[in-house]
Structure formats: C-alpha cells, structure tokens
Structure 1
Amino acid sequence: MRHPEWEIAVTYYSRALQQQFKDLVRRFMYETKKDEPDWSKIHIFHCWGSRSEPGFYSQTARSYDYEPLTWKAADQKYGKESFNGACTELLQIIQKSNAPKELYDAVLIDEAQDLPVSFFRMVYSTCKSPKRIVWAYDELQNLGEYSMPSPEVLFGEDENGKPLVQLKKDPNRPPQDIVLPVCYRNTPWALTVAHGLGFGVARETPPGSNSGLVQIFDEPTLWEEIGYEAVKGELTLGHHVSLKRKPGCSPAFFSDPEKALVNAEDAVQFLTFESVDQQADWVAAAIERNLLEDELLARDILIVLPDAYTSKSQFSFIFRALLNRGVQSHLVGISSSRDEVFVENSVAVTHIYRAKGNEAAMVYVLNSHECFSGLELAKKRNTLFTAITRSRAWVRVCGIGSASEKLTAEFKNIVDNDFELSFEYPSSAEIKKMRRIHRDRSEAEQKEINRSVSEFAGIVEQIAKGELSSDALPEELLQALSKIYPRGNS
C-alpha cells in the first residue's frame, strides 16, 4: 500500500494456499486503500511452479534463460531431495552469472520450515538491496521436529566469510526476530486436545513400555514457548508435570463468557460410528444443519481425510451422503483446482497434505481411528494434530470402531482433567527410544515387519486351534513374551 511501485513476491510451500493469500491481500488492500491490489506488482505464487503456472523457482530460472526442472524430472534425479536439487542446480547458474537478476523489492515466504536452504539463497540473489526478506515458519508443524536453521545457515556467507544475514536486536528499532505468542487460529481447548493426542499424553501405556507417550520435546522449556505453563509438578526431564494453556496466549474473547461465541463443550467433540456409511450420513446431516440453521456458508466448512492414498475412495462416501441432502462437495485438487480449497456453494473435502496451512470455522475430521495405533505412530499422531488445528471455532473428530472409542477415551481424559496435560516427563534415553520406536519406516522395513507379524500370527492361530503346543516355541521366545505380557495381565 505504501510502496505501489515495488515488485513484491509472496511464496509458500503448500499449493492450496494461493487462494487464501490472494483473499487476505485483497481484503487488506480494500480495508486500507479501498481499492483492488495491483496484481501486476504483487506476485503470489508457489515456491516451485510448473510449465503452465509461474512459481518463484520457475520464474527465477526463466530470468536466466534456464529451463526449470519439472517435479517429475527432479524426482527422478534427486528423489526426496527433488526441490533442493532443483534449487541447487539453479544456484550454480546464478553464481556463474556476471549480472545477478534482482527481480523483487521484497519477498515474503510462508511455511519456511518446509523449504531447503538452497531456496533461501536463491531468494537472496533475486531480492534487491537492502534485501527486504520476511520468512514465517512454524517450528512445530510436526510435533517431533522443531528446528529451523539460523539466518547464517539459511543465507550463507560472503567471500570474506561474513554472514550475509544476521538478525539484530537494536534497542531503538523494531525487533527483526519475532515470536507470535498468541494463537488466534484455534480455540485453547482444540489446541490442548491436539497437543495431548499428538503427543499421546493420555494414551494407555502399552505392554512392555513405561509410558503411553508417542513423542515429546527434547527440551521441556519448549512447552513454555508454545504457550503452556506448569500448574503442578516440575517441567523438567524425569519429573511429573501438569501443563495448561497460559491465559495470555489465547485471545481474551475465548475466556470472556459474555463475549464468547464458542465454549469448551461445543468447540471439540469426538464421535464413534459402526461403519463408514454411518459416519458419512451423520456428517452430512450435521453439515446440512450448519448450512440451514447455524448460518454457516459452504466455505466455512472443511472435511479432512487423514490418508492421502485412500482419499478418492473415501470421498465417494461423503459425496453421496451430502448429495442426498442437496449439498454439493468437491475433493480439493481432484474435482477442483489444486490451488483452490474453497469453492462457492460447495463443501471442501481434502486429505491432510492439502489441508495444511488452510483453516475453516467448522472442521470435520473423518476416519480418526487410522491415527490411533500401528507403525509410524508419530506420523499418524502428527496427522491428527494437524487436522484438529485446521479449526478456527469448532471441530468434530469422527472415527469407526474400537480404535475410535479408545481415541475418544484419551480425549475425555484430557477434558475431565480440565484441559490439563498431565504426564511423567521421560528421560533423554527414554525420549530417544520413543523416537526410534515410532519413527517413519522405509518401504522395505514395513514389508519385513508385516511379514514377521504374519508369520507370528500364523503360529498363534495354530496354538489356538490345538494344532501346536506352546511349549514347541523356543524357551527364549516364551521368556521374552512373558516379560512383555506378564501372566497377571493376560
């Protein structure tokens, strides 16, 4: 608004954020300038881009007459490091150039925690002096990973070994490194439940384990940085502690009963169903009430599916149930643009990866039972955390069968404890063991575990049928099993 002559780039990691950014920029300009933004000067695009759609990387590459790598080509060449590889290649072209192309007066980067160092160095090269670069990030996007490289690492050094970027804390100038202490997106109750389930605070302790925790911060003080305080016990390794949201870390209107539009009981609800069809029918009926009685618009509602691989087949259930009630819906990126989450007069359904970064007043999380147990449990609990924290006001967590009931029991434990998270903080050694057990597994590892489980299940079935005696098993295996499942607990 103040510098209409500037070329400003806004970039991000999740493609589905484009619609949200354009809407926010447009609203800001109308509120402050009473006019439409000059879209020839404001460039809102994905960090990568494609042959048909401009992106920060692709536009930078073309400015050097360099053909940008497509995702497919980069994936074949670099695998999981595809974007880093593409940016690194382009950086080499830039460094060889005698005249760097300074394309933008300012660059704003969202979801910086998901972007490689090579991308930041590319951004630095394209930004005009005095290098107006703002990067925003959530260090706790995944609960088990919480590190963001320093500016010195992100932007590198000059030819004399001096860091190109250092954040300063001059007493008479605005701070350059800002922590946002208040969470405006989520209600304090939804956020507490999301953290509680994400970490497994109220999870039942499985046999052979000391705790039900799935993951936890290495540094206990991180809890204070994200808005919690110890109300009982001691926030240190190896001690019992009870944590609660600090009143000042949530907007005042959540705690003021006269102003609050949302209360704890209505903010978060868990529901269990007998089948996928029953779940879809209930959600469709609830959404119909949202539209007809609660004065919500279709764009105020978001349905989140935890599994990207089964999202198409699972969408069919909710699509039919909604259509039976005259409600249109779309699967984001499939029956709508991948850059657009919300469509007029249609309810958005998305898998967890496209939901990331977006939000809605009412969120329905489906098939939550898939996040309760199993291999790669940290990833599954992170999925649940992300899904719940898409809600600005209300969230309904739905699931099927006994796994959903057990997840609901965890939720009720947190609610009955007045939204306090009470647990025994593990030692450093226990945290490392926890991380090892619940880590992501390679495809080969998963196949080997599934094969072993299948073989063991076959042996158990033979014993149950009386075709094999338990004393036919090796003594060391029986002793190991007895330690994990003592007779008194069997």
Structure 2
Amino acid sequence: MALEVYPKEQAFRNAPVAKTLLDYLLSTQEDLRLESAFVFCNFPLFREEGVVLTAPLILVSPLHGVFLFAFPEDARAFGETPSDTAKSLEGTYSQVFSKLVRYPRLRNNRNTLAATLEAYLFSPEEPVDYEGDSDLLLVGLGSVKRTLDAQRLPKPLADEIIAEIISVLDGSKALIRPPDRDIKPFSQTSKVARIVALEEEIRRFDRDQRIAYMSEISGPQRIRGLAGSGKTVVLAIKAALTHVREPDARIAFTFYTKALYQHVKQLITRFYRLYDDRDPDWTKLRILHAWGGDVVEGLYSFAAKAHGEVPLTFAQARAFDPHQPFDYVCNRLISNSSLNSLFDYIFVDEAQDFTPSFLRLALRLADEEKLVIAYDVLQTIFDVEMPTVEVLFGTDKRGEPAVHFEEDIVLHKCYRNPREILVCAHALGFGIYGPRIVQMLESKEHWEDFGYQVTKGEFISGQEIVIERPEENSPSSISKDNSINQLIEVQVFSEFSEEIDYVVGQIVKDISEEGVSPEDILVICADDKNIRSYFRNIATELNRHGIACNNLQQDSFGLTDFRAAKKVTLSTVYKAKGNEAFIVFLVGIDALFDRKAAKRRNMVFTAMTRAKGWLRVSGLGTVAERFAKELDKAKEHFPKLQFVYPSSEQLVIMKRDLVTAESGELENVIDRLTEEFSDEDLEDVLSRKLQELRKRKRTHRKKHRTQH
C-alpha cells in the first residue's frame, strides 16, 4: 500500500518547505519503509486559549510511530519567528499526546504511549536561525532518513493500533457510539458478533471522507455519493472544523428534513469538542431548516427578514404556486435587488431534495460563493441522471456555467449494505437479468461515481459490458464470514401459512441462537392487499415466543417511531424508505414481481437496500420462483453486473416508461393511503376532500363571475 496523504498533496501549494519534505517522503517511501504510512497536512488542529494549533505535517508509520513536523521558514511568510513555530509545535505535541493517551490500546501505562511520538522542526538546509529554550530537534533533508531509522521499532505496530491512532487523529472517535452488546455467550462468527464488528467499521472514516472534510473552503464544493456513504457526517465535521479555524466566521448549516435538526447539532458538537474544550458558539454557527417558520427559524425566513421582506408561510406560498411553493419563495427572494451575502460559509445537506432555486439562493447568501452541498445519488432507480452544475446554478451571458465547483468529491464507499446485497439490488432494480433492462447508467464515469469499475466494454449499442464493485467500496465485516447465499436467501412457498412459519422461525432463531436484538430485525411486506394478514399472523406467532412487534402499519398517523426497543419492526415498503436494519425479511415478494412496471422494480430495490447485514426474501408460487431465478443470476455474476448495452431505441423506451412511472405519483400516493388506512377511513377522508374541492370550485366560479 502506498503512502497515503490527507487531504491532498496540493495542501502545501503555499508552503514550499513543507512541500519539499512531503515530496521527499513520497519519492523515497520504499527506501524509508513508509509504504503503509499516512501523512496529514495541517490536520488535526486544536484551539487552545484562543489560538489555533496544528502541526503542518504529521507522519504515522507502522514501522516508526508518530512524527510531528513544523517548518520555521514557511511560517516566516506569515510573520512568525522560529521561536513562535517551536512553541506552536510543542502545544500541538501536548494536544496529540493527551488525545492518544486516553485510549488503553494506545498506552503501555498511565503515562507512556505504546507508539513513539516525536516532534521536529524541519529546514531543508539545516540549521535554521533558531534561538529558544525548546528541546525540539532540528532536522534537514539529509538527516530525515537517519532520524527515521533511529526510531525504527523492533516490530511493526499492529493494524488495530494504527487504526486506533488514525481514528484519534482524523476525528472518527467522535462518531456516535452504538449501545454496547453482550457477545460473550455467542461465537465470534455469530450474527451479533458480526454486527458489533460492522458497527466498529462504520465508526472509522475512509479515504474519500477524509479528503472531503479536511480540505478548506475557498469556493463552491459538492460532496456526493450513494445513500449511506456518510455525507451528513462529513458535512457536520467540515462545519465544525471551519468554526474551529475561524471562530468569528458566520456559518449556516441547513437541510431538508426537519427531524435532522437534533442529529446535526449533536454531530457538530461532538466533532467541535474534539478540537476545542467547549461547545460551538451557536450565535456564529447557526443550524437552520431550509424554510423556517414562526417558531423555528430557517435559512429562507432568516434571509427574507434580513432583507426587509416578510417571510411567506407554506399556505401563503401555495396560493401563488400550488405545485412548487418553496421554489416560488426562493425565486421571489432571489429577485430582491438588495440581496447580498449574510454568511461566510453555508453548508447544505440533502441538496438532492431541493429545487435549484434554493441552492442558488444559498449561493447568493454565502460570501465569495463559499457554499458546500451534499448530494445523494441514485436514491431510486429513477434518479440515474446527476444534475449538472448548469442545471443547479444556471449559466452566464455566454452560456457557460455560472459556477464551477472548486471540489467535486465522490464518496465511493456505501456503508448501508454489504456489497452482495447492493450489487444484487442494483441488478434486480435495473432489471439487468430480467426480461428487459428498465433503467441504465449511460457512461463509464456514471458507474464509477456510484462506486463501480467498468472492466469490459464501451457504452455502445450491442456491446457486452462488465461492471464490478470493488471490495473496498463496501463494508466487509459481515461479508468475510458469510457467503452470498448466507447473506441473501430466497424461499418460495405454496401456502401462506408456510411462509409465516418460516419467517417466525428464522426470527426466533436469530434472537435466541445468534444474539440479535429484536429491534435489529425489520419485516417489510411487499403485498399491499394482504399486509394485514401477514402482520397479524407474524405478530401473533412471535408473541407466543415472547417477542413483541412494532407494527407501523397499524399506525395511521405516522406517530410511532420506526424502531422501538426490544421489538421487531413491521413496515410497508414506503415507511421503510430512509431506514434500515441489520436483518430484513421481505415477505410477499410475489405481489411486487407480478408486473413488469419500473415502479415495481424500484420498490424491490428500495426494500432490498434496507438490509445492513442479511436479507431474507419470501413469497408464494410461480411469481416468487421467477424472482428467485433472477436473483440467482445476479448471485452467479457477483461481484459483477454483466449485460449487453441497449440500443438507442431501447433507451428511448426505457426513458418513456420511467417518465410514465414517475408521472404516476398521484397513483403512488393513493396506493400509500390504501395501504395505511382502513377502507372506511379512506372513504371518509376522500369524501370530505371531494366536498372541499367542489366547494372551492364553486367559490372560484362565483368570484370569477363577480369580477366580470
């Protein structure tokens, strides 16, 4: 493995001496035995008594330990003396030592570390004009190798020690820790042991994530990836670090889902406290919902008031534009000739859920266009087109993009699903091995953005394409002890009662023999018509074994939490969207697979990708058998997707069908209501709504006649 540099080698473009050392380490890494080492540039940073401390370069090597370097000659460009540099480096050394020594795995005893920790001043030519009482050693280009060789450890640090050091330095120790699980009574390959290992794996940052949050902001940036790639976490730490660097900067963090507020605040607080001994200044770093209202302020409402406008409510905006009320208020505010920046930095999460008008408003409100957006890709099989920068921010008078992203970072690793489940879900969702493909990513770059590699073929009609998902782009903790057939099982039954017995038996076994908690298990019913029978029977049988259920289908008003302590969750496909569980039972698959509609394929994709560990699919009769055969083909080709690229005519048909599927959104809503309400309740609601609609029409006609 080559020496890894974070965030990027370009971090030292304004620090020539630091770049000299970095170039030397990179070019001689084999000779220096640094192939598995890490370099952090200007990271981590700490705030101590109002001063930001950092080591411009930190080297972490399994064969040598941890080395902090500072560069007096680079510091002179910013008005620092060598003594100032030495003092800052000593402060950083103390901070790093105090962070590392907290963790038992990283110390020999209360006061000494298991790994070497040293700090050096570096000057290419040695010696530098340095006077002071510091005992820091000075090294030059000619003595780096001697210095590292002198610190060579008797044996390399274990992988888990290096991983722990990196997690302390890169901030992943602040990630929210899951509740402790009792795994002692169970084997190391049990499901509960694998779940614990996965939870630990998820609590470490990967390469793409580190690059995304460590890079400083001087213009527009985009961070994108599949759902489950950690965009919200990355954006939160990026906001926290910006606040550490610039405590007086005006920062806004905004998002689409109101329920995200407390989660975001908790994340930012945890990350900020890694680098400063207090909470963030919430008067400077503001967490704002996108719209806002009378009680909770939002980015739009805050900006409207600041520019002398009265913010419109949802009801008021809907009167002007019933279909896109938020789009209307954003465009209205953008048209305000006095609109100017209110924040030094703006971070927008869930950018895929906003119309371009809100992103353009955010860009106008951010000083020097210092806007960072996080964007989910491929939320459904309908979302294969990634909006271009022209679509998001428009064009200038010459027709050129009005904005160019300073950084456009793709998070390739998806933590939500094992590789086996994600690849098979894409195969089934896209119809790769079905009667015909229903959706297609039309370029090599597009597939690579989603974490795949194109290993064969050109995207030309009739060409055979082979695409593979690399192991490093998915979590491995569960996969390494489970074959694809253990992770994904399909059972076909001839009788409804047999399917119920199978599901109940497997759940009981997972809880009693594998140590899985009931709340780690999710049952999704794909059969809308028979959902009550499925859930009633499953709940009754589980209750006989002392296992309770959280039946979301019984909750007509959506007030129940998706997950409840010590209860198995029973959910529809719609309500499961955006949630996940370690073990998912997808029952009644024959009801979803009895039609060829793209909408049904999308529901299959959504249901399958709720599984963080194991997926159990079941259904009745020949339709379920057809699903099983198609899934078997996906398993046979795993970790690859193999298909013939469609003709232009086939692509046209695909897009036409998908437009038809998307335009059936009203039908989707009615389906959802049918699924979640009793026939009597639904009839009552629709009757009242029909009366209101007719009354509105009569009022409109009367008003029209009066005006004329």
- TM normalised by structure 2 equals 0.50
Q: Tell me, which stretches of 5 or more residues in structure 1 are unaligned?
A: 169-175, 206-211, 447-490
Give runs of aligned pairs for residues 14-413 of structure 1, distance below 5 A: 21=264, 24-25=267-268, 28=271, 47-48=290-291, 56-57=299-300, 64-70=309-315, 78=321, 81-82=323-324, 85-93=325-333, 95-96=335-336, 98=338, 102=342, 106-127=345-366, 129-156=367-394, 165-168=403-406, 176-203=407-434, 205=435, 212-219=436-443, 221-230=445-454, 236-251=460-475, 260-274=480-494, 279-280=499-500, 282-306=502-526, 318-324=538-544, 325-331=546-552, 334=555, 341-374=562-595, 377-413=597-633
Residues in 2 aligned to 1:410 and 1:196: alpha-carbon distance in whole angstroms = 9
Q: Which runs of 5+ in 2 are unaligned?
A: 1-239, 668-708
- Equivalents in 1 of 2:528, 2:285: separation in Å? 32
Change in 2 beyond 3 A, CA 1:437/1:30 = same
- Specify whether residues 125 and 439 from structure 1 end up closer, same or farther in structure 2 by C-alpha distance, changes over 3 A only: closer
2: CA distance, partners of 1:295 / 1:221: 42
Question: How far is the alpha carbon of 1:372 from its aligned partner?
Answer: 1.7
**Mean alpha-carbon deviation: is it higher for 330-339 or for 315-324?**
330-339
Q: For 1:264 and 1:230, how far apart are their aligned partners in 2?
A: 22
Deviation of the 1:222 alpha carbon = 2.9
Q: Is the 8 A contact 2:590 2:621 kept in 1?
A: yes
Q: Is the 8 A contact 1:152 1:166 kept in 2?
A: no
User: How do 1:395-434 residues align onto structure 2 when only pairs under 5 Å count?
Assistant: 395-434=615-654
The more displaced of 365-374 and 46-55 is 46-55
Which range moves more in the overlay, 378-387 or 27-36? 27-36
| Residue in structure 2 matched with residue 483 of structure 1 by the alignment | none
* Distance change >3 Å, CA 440–CA 249, structure 1 → 2: same
* Pairwise CA distance, 1:238: 0.9
User: Aligned equivalents of 2:376 and 2:511: distance in 1?
Assistant: 33
Quick one: which amino acid aligns to residue 65 of structure 1? Answer: V
**CA drift at 1:406:** 1.0
Paired with 2:432 and 2:576, the residues of 1 have a C-alpha distance of 25
Deviation at 1:177? 0.7
Structure-2 separation of matches of 1:134 and 1:62:
23
Give distance in 1, aligned partners of 2:311 and 2:631: 53
Paired residue for 2:207?
none
Contact 1:14 1:357 in 2 (8 A): no
- 1:41, distance to aligned residue in structure 2 (A): 6.9
Of 221-230 and 10-19, the range deviating more from structure 2: 10-19
The secondary structure found in structure 1 opposite 2:376 is coil
For 1:389-440, what per-residue CA distance to the aligned partner results, in whole angstroms no more than 9, with x for missing partners?
2322222233333322211111112223444333222111122123334643
Deviation at 1:166, TM superposition (A): 2.0
Change in Cα spacing, 1:231 to 1:100, as seen in structure 2 (3 Å) is closer
**How far apart, CA to CA, are the structure 1 residues paired with 2:537 and 2:317?**
35
Q: Deviations over 1:325-357 (max 9, x none)?
A: 432314289479669533433444444444334
- 1: CA distance, partners of 2:534 / 2:281: 41
Q: Tell me how far apart the structure 1 counterparts of residues 553 and 301 of structure 2 sit (CA, whole Å).
A: 24
SS in structure 2 at match of 1:222? helix
For 1:90 and 1:181, locate their aligned partners in 2 and report how far apart those are by CA, in whole Å.
32
Which deviations, in whole Å up to 9, do the C-alpha atoms of 1:53-112 show, x marking residues without a partner? 665556656764323214xx7667645x43xx323234314533746583x554333332
CA RMSD of aligned residues (A): 4.3
- Farther-moved stretch of structure 1 (87-96 vs 12-21): 12-21
Preserved CA contact (<8 Å) 1:151 1:166: yes
Higher RCO (CA-CA < 8 Å; seq separation 6+) = 1
Instruction: Tell me, in whole angstroms, the C-alpha distance in 1 between the residues paired with 2:554 and 2:291.
Output: 17
Over 3 Å counting, the alpha-carbon distance change for 1:310 and 1:239 in structure 2 is same
Preserved CA contact (<8 Å) 1:230 1:241 = yes
1:88-145 Cα deviation digits (max 9, x unpaired): 234314533746583x554333332232111212323444x24442222233223343
Cα deviation for residue 262 of structure 1 reads: 4.1
Count of residue correspondences = 420
Task: Tell me, in whole angstroms, the C-alpha distance in 1 between the residues paired with 2:373 and 2:313.
Answer: 23
Aligned to 1:135, what secondary structure does the other structure show?
strand
1:217-262 deviations in Å (ceiling 9; x for gaps):
233553344333455666543122333323443356577xxxx344
Match of 2:614, SS? strand
Report if aligned partners of 1:322, 1:329 keep a CA contact under 8 Å in 2: no
- Structure 1 window deviating more from structure 2 (224-233 vs 359-368): it is 224-233
Letter in 2 for 1:177: D
Assess if the C-alpha contact under 8 Å between 1:360 and 1:392 holds in 2. yes
3-state SS, counterpart of residue 137 of structure 1: strand
CA contact (8 A) 2:468 2:639 kept: yes
